A and B are shown apart, each in its own frame.
Chain A
């Protein structure tokens, strides 16, 4: 074992040092903002003069923040439901061997992921203004469905790539109608893929700010939209409190995704046996 990865020892130390510094760079800002949300004083410096929950109280007592939170949840839930339904159907269609023009269709279906969000936002703003969808939660749900659906299409297509289509043939030879076979055989098998697609769609909507900035009025402002104003205008530690709550949320999200992926992998192995 005398390759550069194990020898010389100096190389290994340098690699750990460099990697460690990069990890520090990635994690430090996220870790640093959490304690500041418990600061008794409205400063962004350490050491903190005292601990307090006042910024969390401010977040939960503020009508503006609560409206933003409510809007974010409503929009993300409906956008997730819609994009998961449409995206899963499309992914099943795309992975059928008989699907024509697959490359072109896939390109169109994942285009919202590829087009720079500012172009999408201005385009949607321009078109929604003409049909009266500006300043409405419906408009926001439709736009977020569009940008969330590609994540569902991609994750479900990836799951379906390892799906054993013999199962469907077996089901139909046992007398199951295609719809029944899809719902009772295919769907349970691809469920982890659908679930992670749905989570991606949810997070995409929950974190989206540029489109919200363009098409939502002050009554439809979402959490990221409100944070944007907060950072731009008066940076108060309430932002740190919201950030901490969102970090908690993304930690839960990451744990769920890891669990889903592990489950999908276990299932894959089980199928191969």
Chain B
């Protein structure tokens, strides 16, 4: 681990969304850059900061090492967990594979891929109408999408499970199909809000010019608006993926039998299986962890921007 050093020479990059740092501010000494006035002069405060950073790292990141070390350890019976594996082996993954972990991962990937695609399409379409059109009842529709945020799966779980078993009007039984998980994730208020805010900021001149060229609505969205929305789409994509991957109750109530579970829900099956040890559970956890880890590490910048934007916009 590299020790945290604040570099006063390096110009402050405007990577934090809320505060673009102007040239004038860059000349201010480093001790005014942070609320606590940290600086890199070796001393008591400096040493204290390094110590605290190491503790933070140990508390929040080190437990993830135990997942990996345990997954690659022959039989870590829960007791011999440590931060580094003693003897590496792939046995746990083989056992987890025999218990169908790859099928569960397949379910998860189909649901995450399909759900995210549907969510992005649905939310983009809705946001386009809300941001670039004026119509009666606009405020009401906006409020409806806001309300979807206040209706989390937990609160409507019991009636939702009934609806999934018999969708009104069409009388379809979605239980046991991936659609039972994908469709309820389609309209996500957060994405609609964020994309609407972003699309509103696109200057009207661009749209008007395209209209003069006879561009229709769909082409307008696809060729003019969407390319300008790439950052917002990135945020919606990452947050949406993490939200979908984190689903627990929805895959549980939408399933007919355990083979329909997603990989995160299926961990409980591994855990309650008396024939396998915690190494196998951890191998499953690694498999459930890797996709979100990849998405996070590749796109963490837009994720952090998104959370921050949600926070400052309110």
Q: Do A and B bind each other?
A: no
